[in-house]
Amino acid sequence: MNSQDSMEQYLATLNEPQRQAVEHVEGPLMVIAGAGSGKTRVLTFRIARLMELGVEPFQILALTFTNKAAGEMRERIERIVGTEARSLWMGTFHSVFAKILRIEGQRLGYTRDFTIYDTDDSRSLIKSIVRELKLDDKLYRPAYVHGRISLLKNSLISYREYLSNPIFLAEDEAAERPHIGTIYKMYQERCFKANAMDFDDLLFNTNVLFRDHLDVLNKYQHRFQFIMVDEFQDTNLAQYWIIRKLANVHRNIGVVGDDAQSIYAFRGADIRNILNFQKDYPEAVVVRLEQNYRSTQVIVDAANEVIAHNLNQLPKKVWTSNPKGELIKVIEAWSDNEEARLVVDDLQEQKLKKQLPNGEIAILYRTNAQSRAFEEALRRAGVKYRIIGGISFYQRKEIKDILAYLRLTLNPNDEEAFKRIVNFPKRGLGNVTIDKVLVAARTEGLGLWGALKQANRYLKGNTLSAIEEFTLMIEAFRLMIQERDAYEVATEVVRRSGLLKEYYEDKSVEGIVRYENIQEFLNGVQAFVQDPNREDKSLSAFLQEVALLTSVDEAEDDEEAVSLMTVHGAKGLEFRQVYVVGMEEELFPSYISSGTAEELEEERRLFYVAMTRAKERLTLSFAKKRYIYGNLKDRTPSRFLQEIPPAYLDWRGSMASSRPNGDDTKAHLASAIRQYKQNQMPPKATSYRPPADFQPSDIGLVVEGARVEHKKFGFGRVLTVEGSGDGKKATIQFDEVGQKTLLLKFAKLRVHPND
């Protein structure tokens, strides 16, 4: 059988819309792929068909959001067209553009061996800058500042543009954080001097490269004759501009996505990219994949009913020819702990009844904090589980220590790696010595490596000897890079650095685990080197792959464990049985992310994603009471439950006498939610204007009974104060606008002690 006959056989397995998308060749294409509609098959077969038509694999650029998705697609394509599929430019946005920056980065002043900073590195650097500027580290928390810088980069706003924009500066003044721009500037300068980029720089700098070096842009525009983008609804501005620039010559851009599954606005994803695609490419062919192959009719129809409440969406009607299936179970519990017990009881019942393996079951929640009760209930029941999205293998201390040694070996100007390991294992080097090295590196223009090599200019005695010994060790490691593969270098670094000895001699339980993790790390490097499909086995290639792993890529394959994860973490996955827990107002939808119509629509899309992870059975649960900041509080069922027609629901719970059934379900929910919404009505208009000398008081002064003043709501009396830290909030009866509950970290209240 020739390859053409083979391709015909593959095409024969597709439905009509899938085939239409696969057979499209010239011009823009948008595939609107409903949940479970087989979009991966469409992407795979379309790329394979292009290659069958004579397109060279290196002329095809395929972009995904996880390495796992890219790997699975490449394997499928290889089964169809053979090993030439290995020459495809296929991978995540970050991995593909990191590859281009390795090749072209010298145009921007970087070497090929630039370091990729992870979140911890970035926040550590920001923390150092805040300390140097003598700023309040509570006001300029590293996580907050890093998040702000990340969103700016994903919106293609440089620190120069930021510092010259009066609107941004005024917003910072109003937020009492006037130095954000200065921190952003220093952060970028430090990264550049350290020959380092963070995740967002990989996209930001690719845009700069294509903007400022048209010959480089022209090179890749002509190389990539066909561009395909998976999960297009999750792209941000930086990603979209790269794609548009690259597609400008051939205009053979194919995007696949589902606006109903756009759930990453908090990371900068812009749903307008998919909603406006036809405006940007008026000649685009639009194909709708509306047949769901994953879920039962009940689940598909109920999910359609929910998402229909969103106004901003592309028209489509997902359907399935699968069996009708079971009704969606609703578990109503008295408390969050009872919710966990009832869910696990139901889970065990289903396992016995259907011989259901643990690996086909998932418990999904809106926030990671909800996992505790379910972990405890599963442990008590003896059910094995895994948490996806927790601390990953490569984020463990001992592994980050090894990676820091390897990073410094490859890039001796990496300040964050240097700070982490210069005195671990201990070499008698304190913060004063380390600061002297860093000051010399920055103020004398030496760079970190130059400062280390010339340490005798500013150090002496034992500290000088220790630094010189450390420098010689790193230099020896660097000499190995040219001659040895990643495994040989890593093995030598672990041994000669003293890390292996440090953890081997620690006989505590933690020490033994860390020693075992180091061995497992080396096993991983060995597997990387021995992979027959991998051409580049260098340390540089290994470090880049590790730096760009996503949480989905790192999830351990354990078919015997129930999966616990946030709904965000479940994107792209499927299970025979899914429990979506915590279906309560202020939890799902989240009180943080439902303040505007746009935010509420994203929360609804998130619920749609949760529902459509289930293949055979979907269970929704909520509690009547839940512990909030240590206090048991009344809860209201989620409005999303009301959006599911009662005909699709089967109520199960601990409160048989009060449990609604049949046609009473909707009325029961509507009454509870109506009461909730009345309590959450927006404030009445007020003419209050704060005085010019308004200054907020310390939140510690906000106590029950205190008379307070708010810049917008005016004067009021504090009724209750609850919670602690960032979660501390107060319920206040305002004179003009009524009762409001405010988070004190944002409320900025002025206390009037004499009133």
Annotated active-site residue in 59, 64, 235, 261: 261
Which residues lie across from 714 on neighbouring strands? 710
Provide the residue type at 275 as one letter: L
Q: Is 231 assigned a catalytic role?
A: yes
Q: Are 467 and 429 in contact (CB under 8 A)?
A: yes
The 3-class secondary structure across 713-750, one letter per residue, is CEEEEEEEEECCHHHCEEEEEECCCEEEEEEHHHHCCE
Share in percent of the chain as helix, strand, coil (round to 5): 50, 15, 30
Could you give the CA distance from residue 136 to residue 139 in angstroms, rounded to a whole number?
5
Could you give the CA distance from residue 540 to residue 543 in angstroms, rounded to a whole number?
5
The 3-class secondary structure across 661-712, one letter per residue, is CCCHHHHHHHHHHHHHHHHCCCCCCCCCCCCCCCCCCCHHHCCCCCEEEECC
**Cα 420 to chain center, whole Å?**
25
Q: Is 39 assigned a catalytic role?
A: yes
Tokens 């920055």 belong to residue = 442
Tokens 């290639």 belong to residue = 541
Q: Are 572 and 271 in contact (CB under 8 A)?
A: no
Q: Is 261 assigned a catalytic role?
A: yes
Q: Is 20 assigned a catalytic role?
A: no
How many Cα neighbours within 13 Å face the side chain of 453? Answer: 8
Could you give the CA distance from residue 651 to residue 327 in angstroms, rounded to a whole number?
9
Annotated active-site residue in 19, 20, 40, 554: 40
Q: Is 613 assigned a catalytic role?
A: yes
Tokens 């649960």 belong to residue = 621
Annotated active-site residue in 118, 198, 231, 585: 231
Q: What tokens were used for 423? A: 């005195």
Residue 542, C-beta contacts closer than 8 angstroms, at least 6 positions apart: 486, 490, 525, 528
Annotated active-site residue in 104, 201, 230, 502: 230
Beta strands 614-628 and 631-634 are antiparallel
Sign (positive or negative) of CA dihedral 734, 669, 330, 38: negative
Distances (CA, A) of 613 to 14, 49, 563, 606: 22, 29, 12, 11
Please give the positions annotated as active site: 39-40, 230-231, 261, 613
